């Protein structure tokens, strides 16, 4: 057993002191914030838009509801939720990183979405909201960056209303060996090269690929959601398991 001072965790493939991970992740997202949206389109060939559209369609969010988009970054999901909940509802775009939030806030303003969205700087592990606040919580491509994932899931469970649902959209484990090999080639060779070429930052994109490999697979994440109290948990693979959408309810 390690004492608290000597605890380590992974940062991509590196093992670092647990209390240094937040800063290391922050550095990545400060660095990529300005080019984040364009890189997302390039890296995924635009497919991230389909994954996000599917997430929205599975959310069941209706007019008048209250939604938390945690690790919401540049606000892709927030933008869509803001239109769904309308003037009677509210969306909180929350992220630990002020550079990502600033890009998100500007994007929302440019799209004319202001009245029903609030931006909050917050850590997913310690959500600064009262118990039973939200009808729906989403975390898209964010959970793998969080140091203590179970703590974050428990915090999300606490702030969900009874009857509310959590959707976790995240990279996961490809279903076939063949796809897995192709994907490895893409993410460890092409991705850092694209990061270097477009954002002059191969290291952040290497972290991205490594953090995906270190993230719990589909069944492990489902078990983690069960353990903190989510019910009727399930997941759907997309694009052969490269991405999975996990869903769980609080009753
Ligand atoms: C890959 S981006 C995803 C942004 C957005 N959800 C999307 O799908 O495009 C990951 C985001 O997670 C945020 N993040 C990392 N650790 C976090 C934490 N502990 N709490 C809240 N946000 C966090 C980062 O700042 C970053 O904006």
pTM: 0.95
Q: d(Cα 99, Cα 118) in Å, to the nearest integer?
A: 16
* Inter-residue contact 162 to 237 (CB < 8 Å): no
pLDDT digits (tens, 9 = 90+) for 214-241: 999 999 999 999 999 999 999 999 999 9
Domain ranges of the chain: 23-175+207-249
Do 221 and 245 meet the contact criterion of CB atoms below 8 Å apart? no
23-175+207-249 CATH choice from 3.40.50.300, 3.20.20.60, 3.40.50.150, 3.40.190.10:
3.40.50.150
| Pocket residue to mutate for ligand 1, from 34, 97, 152, most atoms within 8 A of Cβ | 97
CB under 8 Å to 171, separation ≥6 — which residues?
Answer: 141, 144, 212, 215, 242, 243
Instruction: Please give the distance, rounded to the nearest whole angstrom, from the Cα atom of residue 226 to the centre of ligand 1.
Output: 23
Cα 146 from Cα 165, distance rounded (Å)? 20
Tens digit of pLDDT for each residue in 72-131? 999 999 999 999 999 999 999 999 999 999 999 999 999 999 899 999 999 999 999 999
Ligand 1 pocket test target in 73, 127, 167 with most atoms within 8 Å of CB: 73
């Amino acid at each position: 057993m390690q004492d608290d001072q000597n605890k380590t965790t992974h940062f991509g493939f590196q093992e670092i002191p647990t209390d240094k991970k937040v800063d290391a992740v922050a550095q990545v997202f400060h660095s990529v914030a300005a080019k984040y949206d364009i890189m997302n389109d390039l890296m995924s060939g635009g497919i991230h838009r389909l994954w996000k559209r599917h997430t929205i369609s599975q959310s069941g969010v209706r007019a008048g509801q209250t939604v938390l988009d945690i690790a919401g970054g540049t606000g892709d999901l927030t933008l869509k939720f803001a239109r769904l909940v309308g003037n009677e509802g509210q969306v909180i775009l929350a992220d630990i990183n002020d550079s990502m939030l600033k890009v998100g806030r500007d994007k929302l303003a440019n799209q004319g979405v202001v009245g029903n969205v609030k931006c909050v700087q917050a850590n997913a592990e310690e959500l600064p909201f009262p118990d039973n606040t939200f009808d729906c919580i989403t975390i898209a491509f964010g959970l793998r960056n969080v140091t203590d994932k179970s703590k974050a899931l428990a915090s999300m469970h606490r702030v969900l209303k009874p009857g509310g649902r959590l959707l976790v959209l995240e990279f996961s484990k490809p279903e076939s060996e063949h796809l897995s090999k192709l994907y490895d080639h893409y993410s460890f060779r092409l991705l850092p090269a694209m990061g270097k070429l477009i954002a002059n930052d191969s290291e952040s994109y290497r972290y991205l690929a490594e953090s995906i490999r270190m993230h719990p697979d589909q069944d492990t994440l489902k078990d983690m959601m069960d353990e903190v109290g989510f019910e009727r948990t399930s997941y759907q693979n997309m694009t052969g398991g490269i991405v999975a959408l996990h869903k769980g309810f609080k009753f």
